């Protein structure tokens, strides 16, 4: 059996954040009808490939904490009835403090969620207002306390590099985040994406120099509190890395369910990009190699060459521009061994540049 994860995308939110360029909508929906379509799609993909061993499920969005716990349970039960699943399956859900209500987190745990990721985004009330978040700092702290109490495996999202943010302000938030006792922290640099409200307002992000300063500060502070940066934006206490997201970065298959979800899905010996509604697009060997290179370099440990060969069918050296690789090695941006290819601390700031030069 082949290892795979399942991503459940819930595209609905209570409000649209001004920095967000993800596929999401603010609308009322017939939740039961939509969940039925999710269950039908799971059956559809099961009929295309019944040889998966499901190791992770991830409810993302949008705001999947808007899904009723009863419907969460229906989806989990359907997955476990269709495929062989790991006994210690990681089942994650993203939640926002503005959806919290009495017993929400305990009900989600009862429904089968065993890893909760809380989208706080800031521990500063002025930052929350700037980011267009509709929860207060008090709501955020209340949700944080409940999540940490309810879930042994937990995570919090924060956004940094706001236009006016100083190193002192950011360090204060990081120290506070560590004190809450989360097992995992995701720190995302604010980027101003085209067609977002921020872009239309002409808001600019922090300078490259400030972004690098805050990024380095993040690693220094979190490592002093026992968090290891295992991916560009993700830090974890030992043993609490997000296994589902590691599946993306290491090149394992995943099934995408819901409008806005994509997947990497094997039918026979071929691998396909899948997208809503029930569409499949063949991925060529060159495209697959390029994708694995882009995703794998995000990891601190880099690309495992043996795993690359298993998931791609080709040797990593055959799929990279060797002349440019040697230049990058001499520049101290990349290290290349018999078993792995990875960025250096210096190269980590230039990830897009490295990828452009390495892709054949």
Asked whether residue 282 carries a pLDDT value surpassing 90, the answer given is yes
pLDDT at residue number 138:
97
Band (25; pLDDT cuts 50, 70, 90): confident
Name 185's Cβ contacts closer than 8 Å, sequence gap at least 6.
155, 156, 158, 177, 222, 227, 234, 235, 236
Band (360; pLDDT cuts 50, 70, 90): confident
In whole angstroms, give the CA distance from residue 256 to residue 344.
33
Mean pLDDT of the region 73-84: 98
Mean pLDDT of the region 326-347: 96
Asked whether residue 101 carries a pLDDT value surpassing 90, the answer given is no
Token digits of residue 120 = 């706080």
pTM above 0.85, yes or no: yes
Look at 300 and 22; give whichever has higher pLDDT.
300
DSSP string, 45-80: HHHH---EEEEEEEEEES-GGGS-HHHHHHHHHHHH
Mean pLDDT of the region 179-208: 95
Mean pLDDT of the region 46-66: 97
Q: Is 264 exposed, middle or buried (0-12, 13-18, 19+ CB in 10 A)?
A: buried
pLDDT at residue number 23:
81
Unique residue bearing structure tokens 């799971």:
42
DSSP, res 348: G
pLDDT at residue number 28:
83
pLDDT at residue number 41:
98
Radius of gyration of the chain (CA): 21
- Percent of the chain at pLDDT > 90 equals 94
Domains of the chain: 2-246 (3.20.20.70)
pLDDT at residue number 242:
98
Band (144; pLDDT cuts 50, 70, 90): very high
**If you count DSSP H runs as helices and E runs as strands, how many of each does the chain have, helices first?**
13, 15
Max CA distance (Å), the chain: 59
Residue 268 neighbours by CB distance under 10 Å = 7
Asked whether residue 325 carries a pLDDT value surpassing 90, the answer given is yes
| Start-to-end C-alpha separation, the chain | 32
Band (183; pLDDT cuts 50, 70, 90): very high
- Summarised one tens digit per residue, pLDDT across range 236-276 is 999 999 999 999 999 999 999 999 999 999 999 999 999 99
Asked whether residue 279 carries a pLDDT value surpassing 90, the answer given is yes
Bridge partners for 257 per DSSP? 8
Phi then psi for residue 144, to 5 deg, are -55, -50
Asked whether residue 193 carries a pLDDT value surpassing 90, the answer given is yes
Tally the C-alpha atoms within 13 A of residue 244's C-alpha that lie toward its C-beta: 25
């Amino acid at each position: 059996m082949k290892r795979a994860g399942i991503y459940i995308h819930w595209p609905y939110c209570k409000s649209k954040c001004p920095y967000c360029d993800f596929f999401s909508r603010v609308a009322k929906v017939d939740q039961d009808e939509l969940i039925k379509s999710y269950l039908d799609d799971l059956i559809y993909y099961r009929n295309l490939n019944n040889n998966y061993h499901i190791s992770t499920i991830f409810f993302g969005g949008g705001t999947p904490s808007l899904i009723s716990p009863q419907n969460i349970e229906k989806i989990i039960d359907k997955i476990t009835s269709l495929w062989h699943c790991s006994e210690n399956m990681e089942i994650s859900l993203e939640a926002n403090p503005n959806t919290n209500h009495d017993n929400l987190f305990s009900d989600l745990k009862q429904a089968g969620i065993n890893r909760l990721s809380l989208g706080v985004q800031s521990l500063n009330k002025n930052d929350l207002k700037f980011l267009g978040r509709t929860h207060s700092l008090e709501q955020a702290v209340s949700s944080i306390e409940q999540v940490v109490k309810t879930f042994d495996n937990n995570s919090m999202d924060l956004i940094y590099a706001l236009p006016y943010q100083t190193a002192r302000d950011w360090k204060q938030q990081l120290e506070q985040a560590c004190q809450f006792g989360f097992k995992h922290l995701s720190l995302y640099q604010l980027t101003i994406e085209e067609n977002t409200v921020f872009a239309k307002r002409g808001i600019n992000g922090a300078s490259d120099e400030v972004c690098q300063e805050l990024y380095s500060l993040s690693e220094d502070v979190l490592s002093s509190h026992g968090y290891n940066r295992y991916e560009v934006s993700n830090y974890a206490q030992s043993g609490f890395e997000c296994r589902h997201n590691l599946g993306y970065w290491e090149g394992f298959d995943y099934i995408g369910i819901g409008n806005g979800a994509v997947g990497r899905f094997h039918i026979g010996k071929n691998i396909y990009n899948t997208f809503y509604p029930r569409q499949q697009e063949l991925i060529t060997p060159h495209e697959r190699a390029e994708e694995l290179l882009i995703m794998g370099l995000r990891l601190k440990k880099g690309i495992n060459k043996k795993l690359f060969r298993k998931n791609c069918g080709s040797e990593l050296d055959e799929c990279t521009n060797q002349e440019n690789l040697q230049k990058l090695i001499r520049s101290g941006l990349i290290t290349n061994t018999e078993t792995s290819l990875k960025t250096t601390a210096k190269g980590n700031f230039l990830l897009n540049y490295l990828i452009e030069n390495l892709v054949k």
